Structure 1
Amino acid sequence: MQNQSFITEFVFLGLSQNPTVQKIIFIVFLLVYIATIGGNMVIVVTILYSPALLGSPMYFFLAFLSFLDACFSSAFAPKMIVDLLYERKTISYKGCMIQLFAEHFFGGAEVIVLTSMAYDRYVAICKPLHYSSIMNWRLCGILVGVAWTGGFLHSIIQILFTFQLPFCGPNVIDHFLCDLYPLLELACTDTHIFGLFVVANSGFICIIIFTMLLVSYGVILFSLRTHNAEGRRKALSTCGSHIAVVVLFFVPCIFTYARPPSAFSFDKMVAIFYTMLSPLLNPLIYTFRNMEMKNAMRKVWKRLVVVSDEK
């Protein structure tokens, strides 16, 4: 393993060097982060405290997805928000590697959960008579285990390769978080092969899974022709939410990783989308048109109010 040389910390340039702009961004991002954690944890708590929802694989996966979104956002949002208060934004080499690991760990797990949710909808709509026998709790447990394992393997591979890179020159990252391509630009070695590896390990995987998901939802929507009007409406509402979340997650990831390593001025804007906005919008998308979730939230809220009144 090569020596990481003289670099012990990295300096972020962040989103802006203008102090006034930084204060505005600080307030906006703090509110977005609070809303993200609050929205996602409301979904988790609602499903955990609603036996009818928790007994459904779809809502079980939704709770898991919301938990992952909260973790994914927490991997870098607090650091990024605090950095907006400082003129010099630094992160230690170890902190940078931890941030990189967490981002790809939770992101990788989320990819597998979104795939599991698509499979769940496929079985529910295309094979309704076999749904309970196929989507049993043993399979759900296995899929959750695969999500954690897949996220870990994807992330540990990225980290092991990044550890091989020597950093001995400039340590300024033109970004607000540690990611693969910004780090490649600082390495004191030829990173062409590593760049291709990133495209293969992150970019192509995103493209393949995104294509598979779109095809699977296409098959689901095509099969709805045989359903009655009410069944079609309910299935379209659920699948529409799932497709929106899939597009929000995968399109920015494909843009970021499925191309040769080169800096675009709007890379940071795309990163904001998948690191801040996607985890914020997911709970809104899933609950906006879902009456079951809305009713369950009301029941849980009433229960909490009654408990607090009794105290």
Structure 2
Amino acid sequence: MEPTSRYAGLKYLGELDENGLPHGKGKLFGLCDVDKHEHLAHCNFVHGHCQGYVEIHDLSSKVSYIGYMQGENVRHGYGKYIDPKDGTYEGNWANDRKSGFGINTDKHGNQYIGEHKDNHPHGNGKIIYKDSTTYYGDWVDGLKEGNGILVFANGDYYIGEFKSDKPEGIGGTISMNTGKRIFGEFKDFRVSGLAIESNTTQNTVRIGEYKNDTIHGLLVERAGDGKLRMMGQLNGFSKSGVILDINTDGTGYIGEVKNAKPHGRGILTKPGGLELIGNFENGVFINP
């Protein structure tokens, strides 16, 4: 609540100071000539200003603050602020800004529980989004920054480092539907760098270099029993490179590939020996 001069038209019930300003416990109420809103304020007034514990309501906009103030009507200490167009905050304030521990629920239903600084999540906190996606971890100036856990509505989750509100750095993901698990380097929430990928559906473990969630460089892939399945160097975007690929029936291929098919010089193998050596084109043997 501002000094009564800025709320011309309001009625006051309570004590006054020598200058006629509200001073002591009192109530301001009525229609304000300045903003044309209906107001109600229960305060401990100090020369026209609300201080200490206050209850301030804009009855027209439904905005309210119940809590503590100091100085020139500054929210300071514990208080609850409600704005139908913005949301609700209940917690600590410092110099009229959210600072310290508090619970902030925005107009969309997203809720943050944790530490604040200068009106932003800062420190350790948890946010629950409307779709049930949840993040718990470090925050800097309103952004996820540091270490945290991000759990999606479908049960998938990421554990690791964050930067500028996105998974970036060392971390791991688990897919509840496919059973795929990846631990390694992330950039902009994509696997980029060295990583280990475990796929329970395919019963394989792969170690390799990635770029934008795709194998791009050296790789080694083994079956769950430890047997070698694939190794080599592969451009995952064009499915080209040089690889050793061993099938579950014991057959295999060593050589160049393109679009995931033998293309160039290569060797087809079978259990117990070689089958074909020569040139391939789009998966078809051409000549020795």
The interval holding the TM-score normalised by the smaller chain is under 0.3
> TM-score normalised to the size of structure 1?
0.16
The structure with the largest alpha-carbon Rg is: 2
Structure with greater helix percent: 1
Relative contact order (C-alpha < 8 Å, sep 6+): which is higher?
A: 1
Report the TM-score when normalising by structure 2. 0.17
